[in-house]
Amino acid sequence: MKSITDKKLIIVVGMPGAGKSLLSKAAEMLGIPVLVMGDVVREETENLGLEPTPENIGRVAVLLREKYGDDVIAKKILEKISSSRSKVVMIDGVRSLHELNFFKRKAGEIIIVAIHASPKTRFKRLIERGREDDPKTWEEFCKRDERELRFGIGSVIALADVMLVNEEIDKNEMLKRAYEALKRVITNEDSS
């Protein structure tokens, strides 16, 4: 398995709809490549010939972990990280301590950035976003949250080096805050 000890990984964690994509956008503005863990699951769902519904994506996410281990998504994204020429890479969507610990064993440095928003705010955003695998009802939303929490996402959020709250704030202002936080992270300024 490849080593990425020369890389600094910015691990982004947050519940669905919290605003991880704003952090990704800020990273891209700073020239940081972004790899999305959820894209691996969506690709695997497609490879199995399944429609990208919330149920199918969720089922594939669980099946992959049951069959190949709890850090399977992290292992699958390692190749993409190691082929990046950038010394700093953002990993969007780490969901468990298994994945986090896998990256800790491989990377030179890890910085965890968490983004938080309330369930009501997140549900509204997901409905507006309307991605095929987004929940369409409150019940689907709650089931997805429960699955994410079972994976262990709450434990990763609890270990964050940087916490951003994306609640009752304009999208542009949040992007500005995300940009400033990431700038501090990549220049090794105190991010607390």
DSSP string of 53-80, one letter each residue:
-HHHHHHHHHHHHHHH-TTHHHHHHHHH
Task: Please report whether residue 192 resides in a domain.
Answer: no
Nearest partner of 186 among 107, 111, 78, judged by Cα: 111
Task: Please report whether residue 115 resides in a domain.
Answer: yes
Interhelix angle 72-83/97-106, rounded to 10 degrees, is 30
Task: Please report whether residue 70 resides in a domain.
Answer: yes
Task: Please report whether residue 175 resides in a domain.
Answer: yes
List, for residues 155-181, the tens digit of each pLDDT value: 999 999 999 999 999 999 999 999 999
List, for residues 43-71, the tens digit of each pLDDT value: 999 999 999 888 899 899 999 999 999 99
Task: Please report whether residue 191 resides in a domain.
Answer: no
Binned at pLDDT 50, 70 and 90, residue 3 comes out as: low
Q: Can you give the residue range of the structural domain that contains 40?
A: 4-185
Q: Structurally, how many domains does the chain consist of?
A: 1
Task: Please report whether residue 155 resides in a domain.
Answer: yes
Does pLDDT of 189 surpass 60? no
Task: Please report whether residue 66 resides in a domain.
Answer: yes
Give me the mean pLDDT over the 130-153 stretch. Answer: 91
Nearest partner of 61 among 22, 23, 50, 9, judged by Cα: 50
List, for residues 77-121, the tens digit of each pLDDT value: 998 898 889 999 999 999 999 999 999 999 989 999 999 999 999
Q: Name the token pair of 25.
A: 């956008």
Task: Please report whether residue 190 resides in a domain.
Answer: no
CATH (domain of 176): 3.40.50.300
